[in-house]
Chains A and B, each alone.
Chain A
Amino acid sequence: MNDMRAEFRPWFALAERPPCCEPEPFIRTEHLSLHYRDKPAFRNVTLAINTGCITALVGPSGCGKTSLLSCLNRLTDMIAGAHVEGGIEIGGENVRAPRTDLIGLRRRVGMIFQKPNPFPLSIARNLEFPLRAHGVKDKSRVAELLETTLTEVGLWREVKDRLNAPALSLSGGQQQRLCIARALALKPEALLMDEPCSALDPLASGVVEDLIASLRMRYTVLIVTHNLAQARRIADHAALFWVRNGAGELVEYGSAKQIFETPREALTAAYVSGMRG
């Protein structure tokens, strides 16, 4: 049954989706720009991501969507030559302040990468070790979190008998769900997802997509995707990026319904109808 759903997915769900969003924005960027050494990635992006919503970032490759995600949890700090301008506020705190608690920030804002990247440890240790590093020392509490988060991502039944097996022995889809579980175990408030399904086969992709959809209301999810159908299926809001003058820019931002059905910009209309991009 589960597998069937991946293929026969209602196409009309948009309008009927229950309202999720509190109008309160959780992530806010102000005139945010990023360039690597001389090469600009994106410029002048002002966005307000609502709490509890799934917001999709769509647009052609190279328009700075992924770079935008790395700005938000300041992973750009680790990239030599990356230079950020503008403001970022997450949950009311200024992320760009020099004294920001990076560790705390990254715990509150989880990230899922395009390629599943579990650590070369056992399945259990992939979750236990970050928990312990974040101060959850109590063994029974760790075990409890392990079970609940693995259940949450639908992995518990599949792996509960081989928690000590290497994480890299899991299939691609399972690995990605493990990575999501690893992020969820830290009780984040927001999740940044960088094309989490694009490296997976369609079946696995469907399972992960359902998982992401189920995170609605509970987490603020920002997802980069190239799959317009996917964005249409799961997103409450969508933002279209496009490359102009050699750097990514925000073209249009609005509710998914509006973007996909009544786009304001001609570029958006062309992109969502499949005529460009």
Chain B
Amino acid sequence: MSEFTVAYARPRREWLAAAVIWSAALVVTGLFLWIVGDIVRHGIGQISWGFITAAPADAGRAGGIGPILVSTLLILGVCMAVSIPLGVGTAVLLAEFTSDDNRFGRLVRLSLDVLAGTPSIVFGLFGLAFFAKVMGLGFSILSGGLTLACMVLPILIRATEEGFRSAPDDYRLSAAALGLSRTATITHLLLPAATPGLVVGLVLGIGRALAETAALIFTSGYVDRMPGSLLDSGRALSIHIFDLSMNVPGGNANAYASALVLVALLLIINAAAAWLGEHCLRQRIVPV
């Protein structure tokens, strides 16, 4: 009997753990509601169809954010178009083709970890020197998108790699026994199985890209005109918010409204990323 007395102490510890976990969730929710509530309360009044489509006027105090929204989406598009293939490729190499003690793999992982900690302003200055000047792209949506791609790569790679690592070895073994090539195994089995990791990477990466200010000031620039091409300079939403709240007296109201639009945009893009992951990759993986 005596060895099972521990069981009596359990409910209390169990209760305590549950209490701690629920309160952690409540704290996070509270903080979130506080911050987002603040944005919504101050920003909702400005939001209208006109605000979303019109061009900014009077340094952003008046008018809307139409061209800025377009620039933001273009920058994000460039960033994702470059970072997703590069990131997934690297993640596949790291997870499927290099063992833990492989030197090349460790080197790449190390450099990615350092890249993950690189301050955004250094990315900005680097992007200005490398993409804008050396590669001759100038202040452009392309420069901004490429700089952001460098920034989100480590997040994307790490998350995707985790996804691949979590796919059971069973799949690899039985696929090999069927004589499936590495490529077929990866594209048809492991990639779908790694989708949750990829989606987390995307959500974090998109979040970081949309939220980025310092890296974009020096690369995609400050021009708030509707961009005509990817080689035009275009102001991103986060820069607009920064400028309005820190540099333009009287810009607060529109700064809040722009932040609200950004949050809404993020909500839509995240949902789309999750949906795409679910339907384009995962569709074939049928959970029981």
B186 to chain A, nearest CB (A): 11
Closest partner residue, chain A, to B284 (CB atom): A121
* Complex contacts, A134 vs chain B, CB 8 Å: 179-180
Q: How many B residues are at the interface, by size bracket?
A: 20 to 34
Interface flags for B174-203 (1: CB within 8 Å of A; 0: not) read 111111110010001100010000000000
How many residues on the A side are at the interface (Cβ–Cβ under 8 A)? 35
Partner of B285, one of A106, A117, A121: A121
Q: Is B114 an interface residue (CB 8 A)?
A: no
Q: Give, as a whole number of angstroms, the nearest-CB distance from B236 to chain A.
A: 40
Q: Mark A116-137, 1 if CB is under 8 A from B, else 0.
A: 0101111001000110011000
Q: Shortest beta-carbon distance, A106 to chain B, in Å?
A: 3
One of A8-16, A28-36, A85-93, A162-170 contacting the partner = A162-170
Chain B positions within 8 Å of A98 at CB level: none
Q: How far is the CA of A119 from the CA of B172 in the complex (A)?
A: 10
The answer to whether A103 and B180 touch (CB under 8 A), given A80-B99, A119-B174, A133-B188, is yes
Please name all residues of chain A whose beta carbon is closer than 8 Å to the beta carbon of B174 when the two chains form the complex: 111, 113, 117, 119, 179
Complex contacts, B58 vs chain A, CB 8 Å? none
The digit string for B149-174, where 1 denotes a CB below 8 A from any CB of A, is 00000000000000000000011111
CB < 8 Å neighbour of B177 from A73, A115, A166: A73
Cβ of A65 < 8 Å from any Cβ of B? no
Is A143 in contact with chain B by the CB < 8 A criterion?
no
Chain A residues lying within 8 Å of B178, measured Cβ to Cβ, are: 106-107, 110-111, 130, 182-183, 186
Instruction: Identify which of B172, B179, B184 gathers the most chain A CB atoms within 10 Å of its CB.
Output: B179
Which chain A residues border B193 with CB–CB below 8 Å? 120
Q: B288: which of A133, A168, A186 is its contact (CB, 8 Å)? A: A168
Give chain A interface residues in 207-241, CB to chain B under 8 Å. none
Binding site for B on A (CB under 8 A): 73, 75, 78, 80, 102-108, 110-111, 113, 115, 117, 119-122, 125, 129-130, 133-134, 164-169, 179, 182-183, 186
